[in-house]
């Protein structure tokens, strides 16, 4: 196409706008995401899918699951077939390398005119060429676009879905440590990066945070730092322990957020705690309460058997009074270095 999505009237909706489905990529036993703990993450995945499909009534999220082949589908079914409302789960033969659908999956756009739905296929290099192979993950957005028979746009820029967050009304939140990292787009300046975000996501205000949290191998994805909860409000994680390496970067991000404006107005900022430091096999895990996922009827919130769990859940319940906030233990899932937002990708409703 010669015109950009912005020129054609497309925009990226906010996550809290109505979904037609939630997309997942089922993990592979031979994958690298859960070394020696694959079976231990399966109950968490089952609980996640159960919460998404809920009672199966209108308003719950139908779940679309990418699988490599029939054998892989059978593995997923062994975990999920005992759930009620199987009509809400659909399997698609779209092979992936790893399960992080937020980052390799399609970014969906909508507009009022037909075709109402479109997909942006950003380039993908597994967080700066850290985890090859990623050839299957790289083509997932186009495979989904072919399946849904919707237009697909190619910005020719590396970007993961977890590195951005939008309010659906023109503002986009991201981080310098990730989007400006030379392991992604070494030939693009900040100005050129901003131009592509505006043209391909239909946004106008680009809001920059600084550094990410310790242990985050994505170089600072914003979905571990701060998230829009309405068009004019964000939640952001803050570390209270001044001796923790996360204390300073999160304080700096908090200060930036408090100085930011959207549409000429200050952003409302609500603070989320950080869980106590989690170390496994000598590595710090990037555990963060900001990695929640907003579905149609529920908010999936990671918990870590930590005293701060209840504070985080209570804070999110105030942010989403019309949704059920479901806390699910992610102590095994975080070994893969991500939780619910990293695993999910929303398909907006167009009706």
Q: Where are the beta strands (DSSP E) in the chain?
A: 19-25, 63-67, 89-93, 107-110, 117-120, 152-153, 165-166, 171-175, 205-209, 226-230, 233-238, 261-262, 265-266, 268-273, 279-280, 283-284, 293-294, 298-303, 324-329, 345-348
**Strands 226-230 and 298-303, bridge-based pairing:** unpaired
Coil, helix or strand for 256?
helix
User: Which two three-digit tokens encode residue 155?
Assistant: 């910005």
User: What span, in angstroms and rounded, lies between the C-alpha atoms of 297 and 309?
Assistant: 21
For 306, phi then psi, to 5°, come to -120, 150
Q: Which letter does DSSP use for residue 333 in this model?
A: G
Chain centroid offset of residue 30 CA: 23
Q: Which of 64, 178, 319, 342 is catalytic?
A: 342
Active-site residue 342, yes or no? Answer: yes
First to last CA, the chain: 25
233-252 burial, b at 16+ Cβ within 10 Å, e below that, comes to ebbbbebeeeeeebeebbee
User: What span, in angstroms and rounded, lies between the C-alpha atoms of 288 and 312?
Assistant: 10
CB atoms within 10 A of CB 98: 22
| CA distances to 302, 316, 335 from 327, in Å | 6, 10, 18
Which positions are annotated as active-site residues?
342
């Amino acid at each position: 196409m010669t015109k950009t999505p912005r020129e054609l009237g497309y925009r990226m909706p906010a996550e809290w706008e109505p979904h037609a489905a939630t997309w997942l990529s089922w993990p592979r036993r031979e994958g690298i995401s859960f070394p020696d703990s694959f079976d231990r993450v399966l109950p968490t995945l089952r609980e996640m899918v159960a919460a998404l499909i809920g009672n199966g009534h209108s308003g719950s999220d139908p779940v679309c699951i990418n699988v490599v082949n029939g054998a892989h589908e059978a593995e997923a079914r062994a975990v999920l077939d005992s759930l009620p409302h199987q009509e809400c789960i659909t399997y698609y033969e779209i092979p992936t390398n790893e399960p992080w659908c937020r980052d390799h999956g399609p970014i969906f756009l909508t507009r009022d005119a037909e075709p109402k739905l479109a997909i942006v296929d950003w380039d993908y290099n597994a967080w700066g060429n850290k985890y090859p192979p990623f050839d299957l993950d790289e083509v997932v957005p186009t495979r989904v676009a072919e399946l849904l028979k919707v237009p697909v746009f190619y910005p020719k820029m590396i970007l993961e879905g977890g590195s951005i967050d939008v309010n659906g009304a023109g503002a986009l939140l991201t981080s310098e440590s990730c989007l400006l990292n030379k392991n992604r787009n070494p030939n693009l300046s900040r100005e050129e990066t901003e131009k592509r975000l505006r043209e391909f996501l239909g946004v106008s205000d680009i809001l920059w945070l600084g550094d990410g949290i310790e242990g985050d191998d994505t170089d600072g994805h914003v979905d571990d730092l701060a998230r829009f909860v309405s068009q004019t409000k964000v939640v952001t994680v803050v570390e209270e322990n001044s001796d923790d390496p996360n204390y300073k970067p999160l304080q700096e991000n908090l200060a930036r957020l408090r100085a930011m404006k959207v549409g000429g107005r200050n952003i409302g900022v609500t603070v989320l705690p950080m869980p106590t430091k989690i170390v496994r096999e000598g590595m710090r895990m990037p555990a963060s309460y900001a990695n929640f996922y907003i579905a149609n009827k529920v908010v999936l919130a990671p918990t870590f058997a930590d005293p701060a769990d209840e504070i985080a859940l209570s804070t999110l319940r105030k942010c989403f009074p019309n949704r059920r906030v479901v806390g699910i233990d992610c102590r095994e899932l975080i070994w893969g270095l991500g939780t619910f937002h990293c695993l999910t990708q929303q398909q907006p409703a167009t009706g």
